[in-house]
Amino acid sequence: MSIEHLTFAQKLQAAEDTKTSKKRLSELAHCDNSLVRFYVADNPSTPDSTLREMIKDNYWSVRRALARSRTLPGVYLIMLLEYEGTLAQPEAVVLKCLYNNPNLPTFAKMVMESKYEKWIDVVHVH
């Protein structure tokens, strides 16, 4: 069954369920509803290739879910950091999650401390 025939509740349930197939999660990653995409990004079963496609999502909540993912490879976190840097107003909460993600390479944290110096108090979590 294609996702167009699923109700909103069914889409949310599938997006959250770690037993949902990788194919279905990839389909849900293109859903027009940002909450569904948030849950796909937050689902540890979502394949890396799908997560990579979601890096430039228009909604900060989806990017925040990616930034706090403990399964997302460091190279994708760097890509997300680079994307945030292209925005007129990067999202502080996305930067905070990126900075605190243990998968973000040290050199990327150093870049963040330099580039986003005025937001360091926002970025540092104690």
Q: Which residue has the higher pLDDT, 122 or 1?
A: 1
**Confidence (pLDDT) at 108:** 94
In this structure, are 22 and 74 located in the same domain? no
Of 54, 77, 99, which residue sits at a domain end? 54
pLDDT digits (tens, 9 = 90+) for 27-57: 999 999 999 999 999 999 999 999 999 999 9
Question: What range defines the domain where residue 28 resides?
Answer: 1-54
In this structure, are 68 and 107 located in the same domain? yes
Please report which confidence band the pLDDT of residue 103 belongs to, taking 50, 70 and 90 as the band edges: very high
Of 35, 54, 73, which residue sits at a domain end? 54
Please report which confidence band the pLDDT of residue 117 belongs to, taking 50, 70 and 90 as the band edges: confident
Residue 50 CA to residue 41 CA, distance in Å, equals 9
In this structure, are 9 and 39 located in the same domain? yes
In this structure, are 46 and 83 located in the same domain? no
Q: Which residues of 99-115 are buried (b: 16+ CB within 10 A; e: fewer)?
A: bebebbeeebbebbeee
| Cα dihedral 103→82→94→3 (10° resolution) | -90
Domain count, the chain: 2
**Confidence (pLDDT) at 121:** 58
Instruction: Taking residues 63-73, report their average pLDDT.
Output: 94
In this structure, are 39 and 63 located in the same domain? no
In this structure, are 15 and 36 located in the same domain? yes
In this structure, are 50 and 63 located in the same domain? no
In this structure, are 32 and 77 located in the same domain? no
Instruction: Taking residues 2-11, report their average pLDDT.
Output: 93
In this structure, are 93 and 42 located in the same domain? no
In this structure, are 48 and 66 located in the same domain? no
